[in-house]
Amino acid sequence: MHDMADRLFADTTLAALYDSFCPRGRRDDFDFYMPMVMAAEAVLDVGCGTGAMLHEARDAGHQGRLCGLDPASGMIEQARKRSDIEWVLGDLTSCVWGAEFDLVVMTGHAFQVLIEDADLRTSLTAIAAALTPSGVFAFETRNPKAREWERWKPEHAALVTDPDGRTVRMSRQIEAPFDGNVVSFSHTFSSPDWDQVEVSHSTLRFIEAELLARFLAEAGLEIETQFGDWDRSPLTDASPEIITLARLAEKA
């Protein structure tokens, strides 16, 4: 999902392929978050990618403020095909909002690109500042205890057809195994119609639920509820996801 959206997706051609590799029919996260998006008057989508979720919300009749933020220029170029939504090229270190959003959401495991403790703290502090007093921060991160990276192998490649009818293959390869904190890997994109393959390199953080709770608390956020999968099942050691809804903590 959004873990593909590293610097390579500054390239417009590959950014245009993102929704093909992550089609709506396989976006259980959209099904989960969309009711919250539709119920909120003002929504900030951090790591919005091609803007697909906010596009869908506007198409479904959302009349309020929708704002998408992403650091990849190719992604934002795709998102800006709709001009009735705010699009910001950047990240949470370059933007400042003050109590403006009823909902801040991070989909597609975008939260996992926050690798360093300092990045996490800065980003969570910015999110807390952006929330209205009754606002919600909704996001997910893969549960490290489920060890999903063990299934990221080249033989599990995906094939899609691009808008020009060309077949594109995407495969994933682990470059540095889980070290208790992060996993580094690459995506390789190839097509018989391309002159050369394209390779992206990514690193994702897999954070334990207990440590996640401490980072949220440091930023003034408290967990309202957590789920282990998109069907709202309880979080257990075997759960694939850590799906979190958090609010501003009440001040003593």
**Tens digit of each residue's pLDDT (9 = 90 or more) over 228-252:** 999 999 999 999 999 999 999 987 6
Are residues 43 and 15 part of one domain?
yes
Q: Determine how β-strand 131-142 pairs with β-strand 167-176.
A: unpaired
What is the Cα–Cα distance from 156 to 165, expressed in whole angstroms?
A: 22
Are residues 63 and 150 part of one domain?
no
What is the pLDDT averaged over residues 49-66? 96
pLDDT exceeds cutoff 70 at 10: no
Are residues 92 and 33 part of one domain?
yes
Are residues 223 and 159 part of one domain?
no
Is the pLDDT higher at 80 or at 25?
80
pLDDT exceeds cutoff 70 at 147: yes
pLDDT exceeds cutoff 50 at 4: no
**Tens digit of each residue's pLDDT (9 = 90 or more) over 107-139:** 999 999 999 999 999 999 999 999 999 999 999
Q: Domain containing 219 — which CATH number?
A: 3.40.50.150
Q: 19: domain range?
A: 2-144+207-248
Are residues 15 and 89 part of one domain?
yes
Are residues 197 and 101 part of one domain?
no
What's the pLDDT at 9? 52
Are residues 200 and 219 part of one domain?
no
- For residue 65, the SS3 value is strand
The model's pTM: 0.91
- For residue 161, the SS3 value is strand
Least confident interval from 16-30, 46-60, 98-112, 229-243: 16-30
Reference 208, options 131, 120, 127; nearest CA is: 120
Are residues 237 and 125 part of one domain?
yes
Residues of the chain above pLDDT 90, percent: 71
Q: Determine how β-strand 198-205 pairs with β-strand 42-46.
A: unpaired
Are residues 43 and 137 part of one domain?
yes
Are residues 174 and 161 part of one domain?
yes
Are residues 85 and 14 part of one domain?
yes
- For residue 9, the SS3 value is helix
Are residues 243 and 225 part of one domain?
yes
Q: How many domains does the chain have?
A: 2
What is the Cα–Cα distance from 8 to 15, expressed in whole angstroms?
A: 8
In sequence order, what E strands does the chain have?
42-46, 65-70, 86-89, 101-106, 131-142, 158-161, 167-176, 182-190, 198-205, 221-227, 241-248
Least confident interval from 90-99, 146-155, 159-168, 208-217: 159-168
Band of pLDDT at residue 16, cut at 50, 70 and 90: low
CA of residue 140 relative to chain centroid, distance: 8
The CB density around residue 81, as the number of other CB atoms within 10 Å, is: 11
What's the pLDDT at 194? 86
What's the pLDDT at 24? 73
